[in-house]
A = this chain, B = another copy of it.
């Protein structure tokens, strides 16, 4: 695809992907990153212990509670949330620089996290990833087998409450097929770049040339 001056100078998108635990956010995001080298994932910081197969610095930055609170104190966290007794946060670090350089940044973020980002970045794109049904979500979480029944009950209760907040997001995608959900998020990014409000004044450049 040819790049024109307007597109080359375009600002990156801040894409917030939220959804209840068990919806497959991580898998969908990995799929997008694998096929889209221009998109970057801002890795979250969490105090939750790693699950089987999760790697520090790849899936999350795993930190102790003390380390997390110290990052908070130093203003190094864009937004954070306490979720099922563990902290989750977005490191501020290089997000602004990436956006200014035109890189699209994907955040795997809690629902209150997305709402909080909307305040600091009103131009952020918020996407809610949904399970196909509540029953399917229950099966997926049970299939993980990583949690005791009480933690599982808490997650399901939380999920029900979260799903009812879908209307606060601009986009809503049902994840019944990983490739299709990833495609939709990439289409959203492409479409958002085409919004007039993200290209204000382009008509003046065109008329002048």
Contacts and interface: CB of A to CB of B under 8 A. Distances in A.
Contacts of A130: 202-203, 206
Interface residues of A, number: 47
B171 A191 contact: yes
A49 interface: no
A195 interface: yes
Contacts of A59: none
A132 B3 CA distance: 10
Interface stretch (A25-33, A37-45, A66-74, A172-180): A172-180
Contact of A177 (B2, B171, B184): B2
A115 interface: no
Q: Which of A1, A4, A194 has the most CB of B within 10 A?
A: A194
Contact of A2 (B164, B180, B186, B200): B180
Interface in A95-136: 127-128, 130-136
Interface of A: 1-2, 4, 6-7, 127-128, 130-136, 160, 163-164, 166-167, 169-174, 176-177, 180, 183-184, 186-188, 190-192, 194-196, 199-200, 202-203, 206-209
